[in-house]
Every structure is written in C-alpha cells, then in structure tokens.
Amino acid sequence: MSALLGLAHLAALLLLPFPVVGLVNRTKARWAGRKGPRLLQSLSDLRRLLRKRPVYSRVTTVLFVAGPLVLLASTLVAGLVAPLLGAFAPLAFRYDFVVFAYLWGLGRLALMLAALDTGSSFEGMGASREATFSALVEPALFLALGTLAAATGQASFSSLLHVGFGSVAQAVVSAGVLVTLVILLQVEAARVPVDDPTTHLELTMIHEVMILDHAGPDLAAVQYAAAVKLTVCAALIAGMLNPLGPADGPGLVAAVNLALTLAVAVGVGLVESLVARLKLQVIPQYVLVGAASAFVALLTTAWWQGGGR
Amino acid sequence: MTLLWLAALALLVGAALSLGLKDNEHRGWAAIGSQAVATALVLIEVVPVLLGGGDLRSSVAWSFPIDRIAVHLDPLGAFFLAWSLPLTLVGTVYALGYLRPWFRTRNAGVQFALLNVTSLSFILIYTVESAFVFLLGWEIAAVAAWLLVVWDYRNQKIRFAGFNYLVSTHIGLFFLLAAFMVMYSQVGSMDFQAFGPFLRTPGPLRNVTFLLLVTSFGLKSAFFPFHTWLPRAHSAAPAHVSALMSGVIHKAGLFGLLRVTLLLGAPEAWMGWYVLGFSALSVLLGVLYTTAQRDLKRLLGYSSTENVGIAGMGFGVGYLGLAWHQPALVALGFTGGILHLLNHAFFKCLLFYAAGAVYRATHTVDLERLGGLARRMPWTATSFLVGGIAISALPPLNGFVSELLIYAGLLDQGAPAGIERGLLVLGAALLAFAGGVSALAMTRAFGVTFLGAPRDPAVHCDGEVPRSMRLPMALLALGVLALGLLPWLGLAVVEQPAALFLAGLEGARPATQLGAAALLGPVAGVGALLLLVLAALAAVRWWLQRGAAAPRRVTWGCGYTAPTPRMQYTGTAFSSQFTGIFPTVLRHLRRERLPEGPFPPPGDHINTHCVDAVEQRMFEVMGEGDGLVTRLARQIPVEPRFSLAAGLVVLLVVIGMVLTAAGGGR
C-alpha cells in the first residue's frame, strides 16, 4: 500500500504542477471573460523550451547553468518530504519539515546566485528582493510549523497538518496557520498580491526579473520548479483543510487532498483576478501579517495546552 | 599524559626556532614542523579519550602560590584539543603563503612563534584543573592574539583595533577573576573540582558567580552586546589570524561555559532561559549586522557573533533540559551546540581564508570595489561558496547538521506544555530568520565579490593565490563536505563530550540513543538523494544540449545598449531594502558632497557605511555621558510625557520606600 502511495506521490509531484498552473490561468481567463489557454498549456511550453538553444552572457560562469538545476533538484527532493497526499510522504522522519524549509532555501540561494552571475542590475534587484522577502517569510513558516508540532505533539511533516477544527482553540490554531500558509504560497510561488508571474515590467517584478537572462532548458527548469512549489504550497493548504483523518484510509484521504489542491488552485486564480498587486514597500508588512497570525496560533496553543483548555 | 608534555615542549622549541632562525621561509617551516609533531602527539593522546577510553589525570607539584597543577583530560577538553591544534596547523600553513610578500622586508618569525604559543595555550586551557594555570593559559591566548592582530602595526587603525581588543578581553578577564575570587573565598581552593560543591548548592552567591562567569565567557566569545571589539579586530588582522581568532581561539569562552556547566550540576531554569535569551539576542543582532557590511572580513566577524549565539542556544536548551530533567533536551541541545562549534570552526576558517585570498590578489576587501573574481580565482570562489552555503545552514553541508539538532531540541515535546514550549518555538523561528538573513548576507557577499564584472578599474587582480594558501582552503572545504554528507563523523566526535552532561541525570542513556543519530540518518539520506537528483538533472541537461556550444552574447540590459560595470547592483543596494526594515539597529553614516548647479566643481562624492549601534552608543556615553543626562534632564519640564514619566518614577520610588519602611517596622 505504501509503495503504491509512494508512486502516486511521485506522480502527483511530477505531473500535478501542470494542471494546477493550468487551473490558475483558466480561472483568471474565465473571470476576465476570455476562453483561456488549454489546461495543460504549461506542459507544451515546457517541451518547447526544452528544445531551444540557450544564449549565455559573456560574464556568466558555470553557476549560471548550475543555478536552475540546483533549484529544481532541491525543490523536487523537498517535494518528497511534503505531504502532497494528505497524511503521507515517501520521506518521513522526525523534523523533516526543517529539511523541507532549508531545501527550499538552497534552491533560492542557487537562483539568486545565478541572477547575480549575469552582472545585470535588474537581476541584482530581483535577487535582493527575493532575499529580503524570503528572510522574512522563513520565521513565519517556522512559527506555523512549530505551532503545529506543539499542537499535535508530532514531529513529522506528514502527521502535523491534522489539527482540525474540533474545538475553538483548534480552529484558531488552524486558521492562523492557514493564513501563514496562504502568504507563504504567495511569496514562495511568486503570486499576486506579492508578485505577478505575468508582468513584464522589470522594475516591479521579484521572481521574474531574476530570470531575465535564462532561456531554453534553464528557463524550463526554473518555471517547472516554480510550478512544483505552487503545487506543494497548495497541497499543504489542502492538507490543513482536509476533514478526513488517518482513520478514513489513505486512499480516500489522498483523493480528497488532490481535489482540495485543485480547489486551492482555483482560489489562487480568483485572488489574482480580484486583487491588485501590493506596492513593493508594503510587502514586508504583508509578510509580517503571516508571522503575526502564526504567532496568534502559537499563543493559542500555549494557552490551550498550558491549562486554559 | 607524557605525550601532552612532549607536545608542549615541541611547540616551545618550534617557537624558539621561529624566533632564532635567519630566514623567514625557515622560520615558517620550523613552526609548521613543530606544530605537526605536536598535533600528532596530542591526537594520539586525545583520540582514545574522545572515543570513550576513559579520562587521563596527573598532577605536578609547583611552587607557591600554585602548589599543585592538576591536569585532567576529559572528553570535553579532548574534543576541543582534537580540532584546535590541527586547525591552527592549517592556519600556519596558510600564513606561510599569506605573509610571503612581506618576507623580504619584515621578520615574520614573531607571527609564527605566536601561532605556536597559541597552540600551547590550548593545551593549557583545555586540560588544567587549577584556576591559576587556567588564567595563565587564558592570558597567554589573549596577549598572543593581540600581538597577532597588530602585525601591520604601522597603520594607526590597526593599532586602535588591537588596543580595543586588548581592553575588551581584559574586562572579560576581570569578570573571570572576580568569579574565581568569589569561589576561592567560599571553598579555599583554586581547584576546579573543589569549586563543584559550592556551585552545586543553590543560593544568591551561586547566581552571582554564574552571571559573572557567563559575562566573562560571553565577552571572550563575542556575544552581543560584548561584540564591539570583534568586527574591528577581524578586519584589521591578517586573514589567518582572523580565521583562528574567530574559529578557534574564541571558542575557549564557550569551553569555559561548558566546563562550568559540568560543575553546576542541575542548573535552575532561569539560568537556561538566561543563556538561551542572551544567545538568541546574539544570533539576531549578529546576523542583522552581517547584511550591511561593506568590508568582507568585518561581515565575517559579525557572523561569528551569530554563530556562537547559535551554539549558545543549543547550550541554553541543554540547560533547560537539565533543569527540567529531560534527557532528550539535554542530549539534543548539547550535542547540537558542541557540534556547531566544530562546524563553525571549519566553515568560518574557510571563509576567512577565502577573504584573505581576495585581499592577497586585489589588495582590498571592500565589496563595492570588487566583482567578477570567480573567473580569475576559481579555487577561492569555490571555497567561499562552499563556506557560504555551510554558514547559511543549507543542506547538504555541515552547518545544517548541527542546526537541525538544535531545532530538534527547541521543538522537542519534552518541554513543559504551555508558555515554555511556546517560547522555545519562538526560538526556532528566530533561528529560521537567522538562516534566511544569513543566506541573504552570503549571497550578497559572494555575488558582489565573485560574480558579475569587476566594478572598479583601479582594482587589479593578480590571479589565483599560491598553493600554500589553496591547500588549507581545499582541506577545510573537504571537511565541510564530509561533516555535512556523513553526519556520523561529527556525531562520533561529540558523543562523549555531550554524554558528560547526561551523567548527572538519572536513568539517562547515551546521546546517540536519544535521537541525535536517528535524526541525522535521514539527513544524510536526503543529502545523498539531492546529489543524485542533481547529477541526473545535469545529465539530462547535457543530453539536451549535446552538439553545438551555446553562443555567448552580452547580458540582456532590458533594451539599454550602453551598460557599464559601474551600473551593476552594489552590495549596499542589494541589502538596502532589508536594512531599511531595521533602521534603529542598522544605522548608516553618510558622508556626501552632492553636485550643485549647472557646472558642479569636481570632488563630489558620497560615502555610506554601516556603524555598530552598540559601539556608537558606548562611545557616546563615554564621551559625553554627562551631557546626555543634562540634556535629558532639561527636557523634563518642557515635554509633558517626560514630566509624567519622571513623576511616575518618583512616585514608585516613594511608595517602595514607604512599603519597605512599613515592612521593616513590623
């Protein structure tokens, strides 16, 4: 059973990003009254990019080519730790969520270095913004996951997310962590209102401006990694919302989780249709909202466990 | 024990030879040879102790006032000796290459002799049990470090940095002396074992002694706010001295803390919170300062404050575990903290050596003037990158291993549920923040120095550094990789020292059985998997692009066709958005004369640099403290909120006095 689930996890990790990105774009298109691209358009884009020959800047070193590969490798390995299918992950061990967060950190560092490698001031600007916002979102993520660890008494990512909404305290903890995870999704996967993956104005972008010089397979790796990150974040949110527990059988939990993940993708599309991008100066405050809500969840947990009950 | 004495003798002979020989090259080799002999002797003696072969004790009669020198080699001292001497040897090899340009004009023998003496002081500090001799070793290390720092003594700035260090380290010595005097007055002996019973009995005097000792050791290891001497000293000293001070010599402070912890028995919970809080503050402020520095070595200096803080947080968790009788917390906290000391020694020395190589090749470490060095100095760039990834605690390198253990301690369910556990989770979040900020600082340092194009045409790069400087970097980089990919190596070394702290707890098992090893197994697996996936992706990437090589053009300038290297993002620009969030801590000084009018006269300039807020305030208070008070006092009648606050303070004092008087009368 667990081998089967492992295969399903791997398949979800590698293939789910395409329909998730497709759903986000389709939702935005429908909301704007357009028909929108095919659901698997991003798969065709990826194949087209893989066939192209890249052009490199004369100042770049081997790091420029290595950056996207390290980003993709670390994102994929981190994806094996994250519970994409509810309460299961192929690599589950104590404090695996720390490994997850730091693997993402490694990918980010590789991408930032590849951006700086070009010597372009635009890409330096993008790397600077990425570094700033990710440094701020990191403590929010750890507050959220640490709170979940304290609330559930578990130490592995795949068993952390089932806090549920049973009592008032549990509902507050879940809601606080959910807010953090939504903001995490928007920062890490570069979505509106933090960043806009479709804008092409260099001065306002974060993620896209770092990859101005990447082309062909390098760009494909970066875009695929971004889609995987979006999917993993959506699956984490789905795991928090999933009403089924381990008692209901892993197959059913996985199916519900997949459906919820797609629903979260639709939600991301709706947010992008309805909300404008934030000004760059207020993004740190927006990220702090994530840390603050996780802090509320932490205080609630402390009160709840410390005898407040 | 004899081998230790022989090692000390070898070091002394080597120091004498370094001073006596005629040629600088020979002096260097004398130091290296003697240190190699001493290191081999010490390792033969130390490794069995470290792997659980039992303690070594001996005692030498000495004249008044010392009476007797008790020598006791336990796993803790063995652990520190096992890496301090080899790393000093590596540093001496580096020094031979680094100092070579001065060989024609200067006598480098003093430097080499002092490096030998530093090794000697390690043997003293890490083995003796008599407070007198311990202080002697402490003082030898401090003075030797000072003399090593002021190598370029003709430069007034460097003399000032050295003097600043000398004063700071002696303030720390006074605290240590005070603590020893308190203990001597209570037990009538200067022997560490005799201090034990006093330190184990709860009471106000024990608390005072604990605070004195922590302050002294905090000053030695440059905890915030006692770090002010450190960035100056590190940027002034030659690279090998900065590396050894930051990575090796100042670990003596944390050794002192651990030694005292062993004598304390079961500490009270507030001591744990104190160590944890103090360390957390160091982590936070140390890492914030790394983001704003222009000087590469200053930046690395601040990151020392951060990293001793991380180790200190591990010790704090261990203290709390001892206070709460939670063996898992003790094992994870102390194992993680001690392992982080070792890891920090490796990657910090590596980073300082790379920074020194940059200085040797370009004669500057100012980030804003460098750029594009990766293609000229591939060895140095690789070394710095490996060190930078390790110091940002990213997998699969060694910094991550020790931080994971500390995370595990902070998030362990052994802490009492409620506010205590909440505070520890906050500590974990702080550590995560430090990791993110450290990644920012290292991306900035590496990216601005080694990537892009050279920023300043006046800076000339001499190319890659000589082999004697590349070899130490390569060795340390291999160490960083090995400790990261095979975490059992590090764990085997720290297991016995960490087990010492568990000895006081009833029914405790060895550290490995309490989760440290079980935690690190999967980490090694993930590291290997990461490398495997990366290799597979690289193979696919190569297969896709087989055939014609990719063409090379200029960087895409978004339509602008005349870019210059001066238009690249600078280090200050890179961190300006982040530093803007913390204006009170990261103050920027601006010196500027901006162009005015249609025909501005030449000589316009703008110069910004980040000043240390603590140091600035300290100098402000020392320079015009009375003035500050007068100015504040003058404000009281003017500003309503000040007068309100002053009134409240007076009211509180009066009420307090009345209550005390009433209590006394009863």
Tell me how far apart the alpha carbons of residues B219 and B231 are, in angstroms, rounded to a whole number. Answer: 13
Q: What are B34-48's pLDDT values in tens digits?
A: 999 999 999 999 999
Quick check: B100 pLDDT over 70? yes
Pairing type for strands B586-593 and A56-57 reads: unpaired
In angstroms, the separation between the Cα of residue B267 and the nearest Cα of chain A is 23
> Which residues contact residue B585 at a Cβ distance below 8 angstroms, ignoring those fewer than 6 apart?
B285, B288, B289, B613
What is the percent of chain B where pLDDT is above 90?
A: 56
- Cβ(B59)–Cβ(B71) below 8 Å: yes
Rounded Cα gap, residues B304 and A244, in angstroms = 47
Residue type, B507: G
Q: What is the mean pLDDT of chain B?
A: 89
- The single-letter code of the amino acid at A254 is A
- How far apart are alpha carbons B471 and B517 in whole angstroms? 32
Tell me which residue in A113, A141, A202 faces B447 most closely, judged by beta carbons: A113
pLDDT of residue B345: 95
Contact criterion met (CB below 8 Å) for A68 and A225: yes
Residue among B283, B290, B391, B443 with most chain A CBs within 10 A, to mutate: B443
In this complex, do A119 and B515 lie within 8 Å of one another by their Cβ atoms? no
Mean pLDDT of B391-402: 93
Kindly give, in sequence order, each residue whose CB lies less than 8 Å from that of residue B495, ignoring residues fewer than 6 positions away.
B52, B335, B510, B511, B512, B516
- What local confidence, expressed as pLDDT, does residue B513 receive? 58
Q: In Å, how far is A216's CA from the nearest CA of chain B?
A: 10
Is the bond preceding residue B75 a cis peptide, omega within 30 degrees?
no
Q: Are A214 and B541 in contact (CB under 8 A)?
A: no
Mean pLDDT over B592-597 rounds to 86
- Strand B605-612 and strand B586-593: the pairing is antiparallel
pLDDT score, position B603: 82
Of A91, A116, A135, the CB nearest to B526: A91
Contact A172, A166 (CB under 8 A): no
Q: What is the DSSP string of A257-275?
A: HHHHHHHHHHHHHHHHHH-
Show the DSSP H helices in B221-368 as ranges. 229-236, 239-244, 251-264, 269-290, 296-324, 327-362
* Closest Cα in chain A, distance from residue B412 (Å): 8
Query: Which residues, 6+ apart, have CB-to-CB distance to A223 below 8 Å?
Result: A42, A45, A46, A49
Q: What is the mean pLDDT of residues B300-309?
A: 94
C-alpha separations of A270 from A19, A31, A287, B665 in Å: 16, 8, 20, 73
Which of B577, B581, B582, B586 best probes binding to A when mutated, by most A CB atoms within 10 angstroms? Answer: B577
Task: Evaluate if residue B666 carries a pLDDT over 50.
Answer: no
CA gap A202, B327 in Å, rounded: 54
Work out the burial of residue B303: count CB atoms within 10 Å of its CB; fewer than 13 is exposed, 13-18 middle, 19 or more buried. Answer: buried
**Chain A contacts of B518, Cβ < 8 Å?**
94
End-to-end, the C-alpha distance of chain B in Å comes to 63
Q: What is the pLDDT of residues B310-367, one digit of tens each?
A: 999 999 999 999 999 888 899 999 999 999 999 999 999 999 999 999 999 999 999 9
Q: Does B10 touch chain A (CB under 8 A)?
A: no
B587 three-state secondary structure? strand
Interface pTM (ipTM) of the complex?
0.95
Nearest Cα residue to A176 out of A294, A303, A298: A294
Contact A230/A269 with Cβ under 8 angstroms?
A: no
From B399, which residue of chain A is nearest by alpha-carbon distance? A102
Closest residue by Cα to residue B614 from B310, B157, B302: B302
Provide CB contacts within 8 A for A108, sequence distance 6+: A71, A130, A131, A134, B439
**Which residue, A29, A138, A304, A10, is CA-closest to B421?**
A304
Rounded Cα–Cα distance for residues B636 and A274 (Å): 52
Please tell me whether residue A190 adopts helix, strand or coil conformation.
coil
pLDDT in tens, chain A (309 residues): 788 889 999 999 999 999 999 999 999 999 999 998 999 999 999 999 999 889 999 899 999 999 999 999 999 999 999 999 888 889 989 899 999 999 999 999 999 999 999 988 889 999 999 999 999 999 999 999 999 999 888 888 888 888 888 888 899 999 999 999 999 999 998 888 888 877 766 666 788 888 888 999 999 999 999 999 999 999 999 999 988 877 788 889 999 999 999 999 999 999 999 998 888 889 999 999 999 999 999 999 988 887 754
Q: Which residue of B has its CA nearest to A64?
A: B451
User: What mean pLDDT do residues B379-398 have?
Assistant: 94
pLDDT band at B664 (very low <50, low <70, confident <90, very high): low
Tokens of B51: 């792997």
Q: Between chains, do B578 and A132 touch, taking CB under 8 Å as contact? A: yes
Which of chain A's residues have a Cβ under 8 Å away from the Cβ of B436?
105, 134-139
β-partners of residue B606 are: B592
pLDDT top residue among B261 and B641: B261
Q: Do A138 and B568 touch (CB under 8 A)?
A: no
Binary contact (B446, A113; C-beta < 8 A): yes
Between β-strands B56-61 and B68-73, what pairing exists: parallel, antiparallel or unpaired?
Answer: antiparallel
Contact indicator for B88, B115 with CB cutoff of 8 Å:
yes
Let me know the angle formed at the C-alpha of B589 by B445 and B622, rounded to the nearest 5 degrees. Answer: 115
Question: What three-state secondary structure class fits B188?
Answer: coil
d(CA B195, CA B183): 6
Burial of B650 (0-12, 13-18, 19+ CB in 10 A): exposed
Q: Could you identify the residue written with the tokens 């005015």?
A: B596
In angstroms, the CA B116 to CA B28 distance is: 11
Q: What is the DSSP letter of B452?
A: S
> B436 vs A142: CB contact, 8 Å cut-off?
no
For an interface test with B, the pick among A121, A172, A211, A303 (most B C-beta atoms closer than 10 Å) comes out as: A121
Q: Measured between beta carbons, which residues in chain B are less than 8 angstroms from residue A122?
A: 557-558
CA distance B539 to chain A (A): 10
DSSP character at residue A56: E
CB of B188 within 8 A of CB of B198?
no
CB contact under 8 A, A80 and B529: yes
Of the residues B379, B398, B533, B555, the best mutation for testing chain A's interface (the one with the most A CB atoms within 10 Å of its CB) is B555
Chain A residue with minimum CA distance to B454: A119
Closest CA to B488 of B417, B420, B405: B405
Interacting residues of A84 by C-beta distance below 8 A, sequence separation 6+: A9, A12, A13, A16, A231, A232, A235, A257, A261
pLDDT in tens, B436-455: 999 999 999 999 999 999 98
Closest CA to B567 of A118, A64, A60: A118
**pLDDT for position A165:** 85
Q: In chain B, count of helices (H) and strands (E)?
A: 24, 5
Residue type for position A7: L
Phi, then psi, of B601 in degrees rounded to 5 = -65, 155
